[in-house]
Amino acid sequence: MSKQQAVAEVFDSKLTPLGPGFSVQRAFPHARRRTVGPWCFFDYFGPARMDSTSAGVPPHPHIGIQTVTWLIEGESLHRDSLGTEQVIRTGELNVMTAGRGISHSEQPTPDTIMHGVQLWVALPPEAASMEPAFEYHARVPSTAIGHGIATVIAGSFAGQTSPARHHSPIVGVDLLFDSAGATEVPLDVDFEYAVVPLTGSFDWEGEALDKQRWLYLPPGSERVTLRTSAGARLMLVGGAPCDPIIIWWNFVARTSAELEAARADWVARRRFGVVEGWGATRLTAPQLTPNLVAR
Ligand code: MN
């Protein structure tokens, strides 16, 4: 649990450039809200057309997390150092477990519209050094709720359970509303949550939120009422509050020594294997930031 008593709060998302002509809307980490449950990274991208010169994201390493990729439109080729080659399309789910170390690349199919989210889940200390793994799910369950449809990509929600494997209490749901109105969303009292608008807007206790602003809910509530516009799409992610972590570049750990070792191993081409199809191309690790502190 966090040291301070958390309260419901609206946070800004930040438009963050990731490369030429490609920016993401980053909900968190936010300066005052680093994690929501074990979710420690929330990027929303697109809709953006990928031109034929777009190379995607070259091989780069991760430790200590799972990446969760969920596309609303478009398709992309995932490759990793386990030898995985998996095209992901709308409605399909990729969950990559970095554990002690993995490297991967993501290549949007040329001329497609890319639109979706990539999220990181911090592994708990007992799973942080596990062997890397990759899961692809062609289908995830969905169910009607209020004015919309809930698609369960992580954990259990409204009687449906995602097939994806996680290592701490967690939930992740795509909520798509086909008509305007108020919907009661059931919550787990032990979880904290983020409600992040992707398209359209919702109203929470008189505040209108769109993709530039998201809602944090602390543990302790059994439900939240969301008044949504027709066509609104929100992500609900949550879980039991996470112990302090350090995020640096693509690494998540509990100590700066772990980050330094991971950086050194990437530079020395140890631990993280090879992603086929890129030749010598890979992302270069930046210089380590001094004074990394877990929080
Ligand atoms: Mn990555």
Is the confidence at residue 83, as pLDDT, over 50? yes
Q: What's the N-to-C CA distance of the chain in angstroms? A: 12
> Ligand 1: distance of its center to the CA of 40 in Å?
13
> Ligand 1: distance of its center to the CA of 4 in Å?
31
The answer to whether residues 141 and 152 touch, using CB atoms and an 8 Å cutoff, is yes
> Ligand 1: distance of its center to the CA of 188 in Å?
29
The pTM of the full predicted model, rounded to 2 decimals, is 0.95
Is the confidence at residue 207, as pLDDT, over 60? yes
**How far, rounded to the nearest angstrom, does the alpha carbon of residue 293 sit from its chain's CA centroid?**
22
pLDDT at 2: 47
> Ligand 1: distance of its center to the CA of 252 in Å?
12
Residues contacting residue 41 through CB under 8 Å, at least 6 positions apart: 26, 28, 29, 65, 118, 119, 120, 247
pLDDT at 112: 87
> Ligand 1: distance of its center to the CA of 195 in Å?
23
Pairing of strands 202-204, 207-209: antiparallel
pLDDT at 1: 47
> Ligand 1: distance of its center to the CA of 57 in Å?
8
> Ligand 1: distance of its center to the CA of 280 in Å?
18
